[in-house]
Amino acid sequence: MELSAKAASVHDILSWRDRYRLEMNCQIIHDSIHPRPGWTLEYLLLAGEATVGYGSI
């Protein structure tokens, strides 16, 4: 199985970020950096053809 990362938009990772917040089950502050243009680079993480997560730099 090939593992890879593919550049993505904030819109592409929203469902993954929502899932992450739900699993944390705590108060989250300072979470507005991702939608700010130019502040982060988003990636979808793939195992073969399946998206298995996201990364943000």
Provide the whole-model pTM. Answer: 0.82
Q: Does 9 score more than 80 pLDDT?
A: yes
Residue 44 has a pLDDT of 98
| SS3 category, 3 | strand
Q: Does 50 score more than 90 pLDDT?
A: yes
Which residue range(s) make up the domain with 20?
3-56
Alpha-carbon span 57 to 55, nearest angstrom:
7
Give the CA distances from residue 15 to residues 1, 2, 11, 37, in Å, rounded to whole numbers and listed in that order.
24, 23, 8, 19
Q: What confidence category does residue 2 fall into, taking pLDDT thresholds of 50, 70 and 90? A: very high
Residue 35 has a pLDDT of 79
Q: Based on the structure, what is the number of domains in the chain? A: 1
> For 13-27, what is each residue's pLDDT tens digit?
999 999 988 998 898
